[in-house]
Amino acid sequence: MSHIQLPAGYKALLSVKETEHAIVAIKNFFQTSLSTGLNLTRVTAPLFVPSGVGLNDDLNGVERPVRFPVKDMGETQMEIVHSLAKWKRVKVTELNLRPGFGIYTDMNAIRADEELDNMHSLYVDQWDWEMAIEPSDRSIAYLKEQVQKIYTCLKKVEFYIYDRYEKIQPVLPKNITFLYADDLQRQYPSLTPKERENKVCEQYGAVFLMGIGGKLPDGSIHDGRAPDYDDWITKTEDGHVGLNGDLLVWNPVLHCAMELSSMGIRVSPESLKAQLEERACTERSNLEFHKKLLAGQLTQTMGGGIGQSRLCMYFLRKAHIGETQVSTWPESMRQECSKAGIPLL
């Protein structure tokens, strides 16, 4: 069910025309910073992939991809991507990239089962990136190192926008705080995962929350992760579980945590096997992508996605993601936003 948060007294800081100009500026500046900061080269990417080969991102395993038959290919079924989490690993392997170098691309997706609200849309646009790594880089220390680089890019964008629009004041803290989902569950057992995120993001301003998808001390999981891209089952060098995480910031307009990026070190053949068993979906091991991975034919990588419209929404202090992208919304939501002074594009 769609729902909307309407901040009291909200007024957009930029006009629609200024917003359109600022969106272009943010996207151009950030992707250049990301590319140079992480040694990533830009590649083109598919909008759809063949069904039944295991290339599409299964998200939480319950979301339905948008499918269509191709007339000139004997009605072969294609599906719109949810993200490029697995496709990128194949691409890095094909390019035979050295460890420490990778790719990024503009990813456009349709997530028809998304619950629509201020931050979630049917249309998803993000920078998907993937980097080749050494087996010895499969560690929390290496993950944190890359997160720090991405956070530096975010800080640069914040100044870049403030330098052009003084009314948009910087709010990001100097440093990002690293926390584990299992520690938060122990510390705040009576709170829901989202309430825990709100609490720590309000406290620290920017948080990288690690160990997303693996079991917490009470047997629950903080948030869903498919079993075949991020490694959320491997025990880390500091005694926790999971080599992935979410980059969260405190949204000063909506007064809640906001996820800007999800990323992680990808599964090895051993962790893929364990995670397929954990989620009772071992039949995926017969899919083309999974066969290659289990046979050790895919490069070891890490990667993630960074929301483009979300990034613009955050840095331009917007109340709704529909102010930084064009999508389809329930008519009731459009009317509510219009009355509250939220101009959806």
Set 31, 57, 137, 228: catalytic member: 57
Phi, psi of 76 (to 5 degrees): -55, 135
Set 35, 83, 126, 268: catalytic member: 126
State how far the Cα of 133 lies from the Cα of 67, in Å rounded to an integer: 33
Q: State yes or no: is 262 an active-site residue.
A: yes
Q: Which two tokens stand for residue 49?
A: 């992939």
Set 259, 278, 285, 334: catalytic member: 259
Q: State yes or no: is 259 an active-site residue.
A: yes
Residues 6+ apart with CB under 8 A from 146: 38, 131, 263, 302
Set 89, 111, 266, 284: catalytic member: 111
Q: State yes or no: is 246 an active-site residue.
A: yes
SS (H, E, C) 35-58: HHHHCEEECCCCCEEECCCCCCCC
Q: Pick from 335, 320, 322, 327: which is nearest to 7 by CA?
A: 320
The alpha-carbon radius of gyration of the chain (Å, integer) is 20
Pinpoint the alpha helices (H) of the chain.
16-38, 87-95, 140-164, 181-187, 193-204, 269-278, 288-294, 308-315, 331-339
Set 79, 125, 246, 323: catalytic member: 246
Angle at 31 between CA 259 and CA 103, to 5 degrees: 95
Set 33, 185, 262, 268: catalytic member: 262
* Catalytic residue list: 57, 111, 126, 246, 259, 262
